[in-house]
């Protein structure tokens, strides 16, 4: 026997309200999120903001003084790309649940997100690195944290 329309509508409205509250919480969290990443030579740490924008560059341990302009530029680009990729993966994981089908309202089927089109193909590649989606790091960096400290 099927559930009465009023009961189904009540469930749908409750799920909608819960979803709206969850979206608002997620938006607040994402607005303040940032991720940092080190270049593989540990000369540069870059930080990406909530929209993937570069919000910080740190030149570590004065290594930049011994680098050619090309080496330094490559380190900056590597760290910035890795930080942006971390942020993109975080956004993807935060938003993905809102695209899933409803468990309480079968008529709400969910929708597909083309993450590759939004963020680029690297966002879908699995990492050997940390569970938060950090870009994979050389084995010698296992002993240090994401921010470059022991």
**HEC profile for 126-145?**
CCCCCCCCCCCCCHHHCCCC
What's the pLDDT at 102?
Answer: 73
Q: Would the pTM count as exceeding 0.75? A: no
Angle at CA of residue 93, ends 90 and 98, nearest 5°: 135
What's the pLDDT at 142?
Answer: 35
Regarding beta strands 35-38 and 54-59, do their DSSP bridges make them parallel or antiparallel, or are they unpaired?
Answer: unpaired
Give the closest residue to 147 by CA, choosing from 46, 33, 31.
46
What's the pLDDT at 36?
Answer: 97
* 3-state SS assignment for residue 25: helix
What's the pLDDT at 5?
Answer: 83
What's the pLDDT at 15?
Answer: 83
User: With left for phi above 0 and alpha for psi between -120 and 50, is residue 122 left, alpha or beta?
Assistant: alpha
Residue partners of 8: CB distance under 8 A and separation at least 6 = 105
Whole-angstrom distance, CA of residue 95 vs CA of residue 93: 6
Tens digits of pLDDT across the chain (150 residues): 577 888 888 888 888 888 889 889 999 999 999 999 999 999 999 999 998 899 999 999 999 999 999 999 999 999 999 999 999 999 989 888 888 877 766 666 777 888 888 888 888 887 645 433 333 333 323 333 444 443
């Amino acid at each position: 026997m099927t559930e009465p329309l009023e009961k189904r509508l009540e469930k749908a409205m409750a799920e909608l309200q819960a979803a709206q509250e969850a979206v608002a919480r997620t938006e607040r969290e994402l607005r303040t999120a940032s991720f940092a990443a080190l270049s593989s030579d540990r000369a540069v740490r870059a930080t990406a903001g909530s929209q993937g924008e570069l919000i910080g560059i740190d030149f570590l341990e004065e290594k930049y003084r011994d680098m050619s302009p090309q080496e330094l530029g490559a380190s900056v680009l590597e760290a910035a790309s890795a930080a942006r990729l971390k942020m993109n993966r975080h956004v993807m994981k935060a938003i993905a649940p809102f695209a899933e089908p409803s468990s309480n309202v079968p008529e709400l089927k969910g929708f597909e997100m083309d993450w590759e089109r939004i963020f680029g193909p690297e966002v879908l590649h699995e990492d050997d690195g940390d569970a938060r989606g950090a870009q994979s790091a050389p084995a010698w960096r296992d002993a240090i944290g994401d921010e470059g400290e022991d």
